[in-house]
Amino acid sequence: MKPKTFEEVLEEVKGKRILVANRGIPARRICRSITEMFNAKAIMTATDVDKTSPATSGANELLMLGSDPRAYLDLDRVIREAKASGIVAIHPGWGFGAEDDSFPAKCEKAGLLFIGPRQEPMRILGNKVAVRKLAIELGVPVVPGSDGAVSIPEAREITKKIGFPVMLKAEGGGGGRGIYEVYKDSELENAFAKASALAQASFGNPRLYVEKLLTSVRHIEIQVIADHYGNVFCFDERDCSVQRNHQKLIEITPSPWPKYSEALRTQLKEYSKRLVSAVGYYSLATVEFLVAADGTPYLIEVNTRLQVEHGITECRYGIDLVEEQIAIAFGSTLRFSEESTKPYQWAFQCRINCEDPQKNFDPNSGRITRYVSPGGQGIRIDSCVGDGYRFPSNYDSAAALLISYGNSWNKVVALMKRALREYMISGVKTTVPFHRKIVEHQKFIEADYDTNFVRHNYAELMDYSDREPDSLRMTRLVAEISAMGYNKYVRLGEYRGRDDKRVGRFELAEPPEVATWFEPRITRGMDRDAILDTLRTDREAGIVHMTDTTTRDITQSNSGNRFRLAEDRIVGPTLDKCGFFSLENGGGAHFHVAMLANMTYPFSEGAEWNRFAPTTLKQILIRSTNVLGYKPQPKNVMRLTGEMINEHYDVIRCFDFLNHIENMRPFAEVALNSSKNIFEPALSLSWAKGFGVERYMAVTDEILAMCADVAGVSLKKAERMIILGLKDMAGVCPPRFMRELIGTIRAKYPELVIHSHRHYTDGLFVPTMGAAAEAGAHIVDVAVGASVRWYGQGEVLSTAAYIEDEIGLKTHLDKDMIRSTNFLLKQVMPYYDRYTAPYFQGIDHDVVRHGMPGGATSSSQEGALKQGYIKLLPYMLKFLAGTRKVVRYHDVTPGSQITWNTAFLAVTGAFKRGGEREVRRLLNVLDIVNLCNEADLTDLERDARLDLYRDSNDAFRNLLLGKFGKLPLGFPADWVYQSAFGKGWETAIAERTEASPLTTLVDVDLNAEREALQARLHRHPTEEEFIMYLNHPGDAINTIEFCEKFGNINNLPVDVWFEGLEKGVVLNFQGNCRKPHIMRILDISEPDENGMAVVRYVLDSEIMSHQVRVSEPEVGGKDRTEMADPSNIFHVGSPSNGDLWVTHVRPGDRVKVGEELFNISIMKQEKSILAPIDGVVRRVIKSANYTEDRKMVPVVEGELLVVLGASAGVCPTCKFEVPSEECNFCPHCGQKM
């Protein structure tokens, strides 16, 4: 070939048709060089999958290859179509045909120019075995290993010589693919079979060779370019040491490694030039080395093509390598020389892939819902994705190549940090947040890394939250609520339809400003002694203080705890100015429902309260051993939770439903250790036989003795250190009883501060609280008028009026500010009344008979309604009233719920056995038992009473056994155990205990629990998340995942939270960074055959869309692929879209947990899917065996592939032996089989 100048080539190529036989990033990149200087026509190959991809925008024309996604590998067809289309030259890009050394010869035979090397040099340098042999001949050092491709026996012999660990490498591989690490002989055969099959699938060549696996090395490569005339130029090195599973993640030029010397650079360039020159190679090539810590290099491979990372060399030198490669192919002499081509910049590339790093880099495919690329000075990006593009599962996961370039290492790192912050890709998981962690890592910045960097810093690098902008996440939630017409996350069922009448748009009107003289007597920041002294002084002056329960107990009793922090922000600042002693704003079921339905971190909520309401004390309710949950917690969990409670709350009210005071000790130890916190142990009150003043005085004595012991002080000192709570949760204690009880306590303990709490259920709230105040209570609980209904506390102003006008005492309240708060509540409450109010409402004086406390009165009865037993409700309440006389406990949770469930089960069980007649018989027996002495019962009546608790559950039995604590009036009669336990009643009696549950609960392994949560979240949990998890594991995880998916729901107004957004209405909201945003829904489509509706909306200036499932798919719809149920442990599905290439199991096989079931190729990466449990294979929905038939089976993400079953005779939940394999439910734990 006659040498040509670059200018001559430009003239020759102008207007010619050049084909890029590739797709995605390489195709788009090469098309740019074809059209820029050459003014040629860029033609791009495309399958049906790619015909509308963003990459095609760079091409003048497409050469269509049809529906087969693998058609890029059909080189004969590509050449045939190219020839027919008037193509003069073909550029292979990287990947696909670029790695096939037959491509140059096939092009030459067809009369087409191949933009790359000749076949023979490409074969020698591109084949890892051949180039290894050549290197040895030329004196270029190589990694110890086999001289060529080997069989399994030969591989085993090699390993005996060089030792483990070793790598099995595909002879025709490249790009870090086709490499298996083997650490011991027992792994060799299985790894060899997999590696060989995958090499055949990926490269068309199953042959493998063995190399020693070197550790603590750098991966350094030299970019080489040569022309037809023997001119060779080597560029400075690229450092590719930051890798995962031998796949490059980051490339840098020059290497920032402090030990990298000019002598080593010169040596590597010399080795590279020697290899290329020895075979008469022209075009681009990359010579790759591993460099040991002492600077010793080892050749690993030569890539005979344009490399993914070529861009950083271009940025370092200010050149276009693709342009030069094309010119050389057409005969141009090489324009680069040592004299004229000088490096002048640093450059740094991150490979942005559609993968989920936190899930072992699982490839992700799907629609990109938002794409915002970075830019500005010093940034280059080569991308194949865009907004709305559906990233396919058929090819590799590369989405973009992000490059920063500048005059120093520190500069390019700073530029990359900024670019990664700007880069937003939504809809699929990407490596962007992972790269952010890398570039922030101090060891990376100091260039103190090698190829083990990711492995050694894995936990730290994976500790991130992959969150999209909160505005985008929030609008998706609004789209979902709007499309469905209701908010499924509040856990209230389908409470409205999309077209149902709305409460109306929430537009808050602020109350008029009022001039206030008011000065609070007690404020946050005062220490405990000062606060208690003030309460005592004020009481002597006739002043009664009040606690407001509007945002905790009122909402718990009347709206299922669904009052959000968003509404707290509205009323909290004015509540803070009303002069209340404290604001009860946390604890009880509120802690749970904050997660369950309000998707809010409860302690973060408490912290925010203290910011927007900084003056008034904050109060929390805890349930002794249950803390903030529903079962006894070990002491170390109680203490850890208690420490966080102390941080955010001032007054800690602690009750035990059995008045077993030892159950309160762990919290007393935490609270009394703090001078700023006030411990308020509370008496659980009932109005029933056996629960008189004498009984409660004995409990008060116990409380003070326990507190004195914990604090290490005298009884008299303990009297001055705490507040004594009186908790009438059911609202059953009459005024005369409260007057007598408080009077007696004050007489014996005159310096003990008393705080009276009761509910409105019986209708006697005001006179009873008046009696409490008159008898000497220092504080009473009330709520602001607009929030008051029937099951919570009474109204503040009417209670204050009664205390002031009827009794003659004083209160210290800013009543104008209370009226302002009331005005705000009047605007909020209609939404909660419409959507969260209980079904049964109103005063229920019968509570004095059945004793169901607070909101449980309604929720329990509503449960009977929903289960179809409303007509049996009077019987259930009568049974409950009777059981209160048999099993003596206090009318507070959870005791009342336990006995309610017992009543429900007893009545429905009797009804199923013999209708209402049997129910009436059962209740008649209960009446006889309660009215007659034991000696007066007949044998027939003694036998009949054994039916009373035959249907009871484990909670009731545990109550009888003392597992919740000591029953206040002792154990019930033996016949109760006969009824509840049946034949095992004598054993049950023997097992009874009066010890605190804390004595038998073993401390939780907090480190193990923290690690389990970290594994689930793929990052370190915050301390708050950990405590949420310890108290409510499932709901804590749901809340954390919800917040990561949708953001902070408290930035939405209440109407949108419950009803969604109407089409055309503008929503103004703020993100967590206080940036203002607007959203307007354009359209909500009708659901398609798969039940999916599309919501199109405007977010700020962008038009977005979001798919929402609003109904079940139609039978026979397009989406009838059987999908795995994520909640079913026996379902094993595909983790992503991909190709199933081997299935290891058949129906009937027994498998162990962790055993490989099948293997999927996902974007050219192998993914082993393991058995989640021990079990038996019931079904195999799809199978494949690539090694036999060379066929892969396409699968979609979530598709059900294998169904397991429990091993015969074993329950998967409790491991209890099941008598029959056909059991639908385990007879021991009751869980579905």
Burial (CB < 10 A; 0-12, 13-18, 19+), residue 694, is: exposed
User: Do residues 679 and 720 make contact, with C-beta atoms less than 8 angstroms apart?
Assistant: no
Give SS3 for 987.
Answer: helix
CA 1026 to centroid of chain Cα atoms: 13
- Supply angle C-alpha 488, 489, 494, rounded to 5: 20
What gap in Å lies between CA 131 and CA 670, rounded to an integer? 71
Closest-CA residue to 37 (of 10, 4, 6): 10
Residue 1059's DSSP bridge partners are: none
225 to 32, 37, 323, 448: CA distances (angstroms): 20, 19, 12, 30
User: Do residues 29 and 359 make contact, with C-beta atoms less than 8 angstroms apart?
Assistant: no
What gap in Å lies between CA 312 and CA 351, rounded to an integer? 12
Largest interatomic CA distance in the chain? 124
56 to 51, 388, 627: CA distances (angstroms): 7, 15, 60
What gap in Å lies between CA 456 and CA 1078, rounded to an integer? 44
What gap in Å lies between CA 213 and CA 1, rounded to an integer? 44
Using the structure block, give the residue that is written with the tokens 């002491």. Answer: 635
Single-letter amino acid, residue 95: G
DSSP assignment letter at 331: T
What gap in Å lies between CA 607 and CA 1023, rounded to an integer? 14
What gap in Å lies between CA 346 and CA 824, rounded to an integer? 60
What gap in Å lies between CA 943 and CA 927, rounded to an integer? 15
Using the structure block, give the residue that is written with the tokens 């110890």. Answer: 144
User: Do residues 132 and 147 make contact, with C-beta atoms less than 8 angstroms apart?
Assistant: yes
Contacts of 86 (CB under 8 A, 6+ apart): 17
What gap in Å lies between CA 371 and CA 390, rounded to an integer? 12
Contacts of 349 (CB under 8 A, 6+ apart): 250, 251, 252, 309, 311, 312, 401, 402, 403
Using the structure block, give the residue that is written with the tokens 């190679």. Answer: 281
User: Do residues 19 and 336 make contact, with C-beta atoms less than 8 angstroms apart?
Assistant: no
Q: Which of 28, 218, 305, 436 is catalytic?
A: 305
Q: 741 φ, ψ to 5°? A: -65, -50
**Cis peptide bond N-terminal to 357, omega within 30:** no
Question: Is 884 labeled as catalytic in the residue annotation?
Answer: no
Closest-CA residue to 702 (of 730, 724, 672, 735): 724
**Cis peptide bond N-terminal to 254, omega within 30:** yes
Query: Which residues are known catalytic residues?
Result: 305
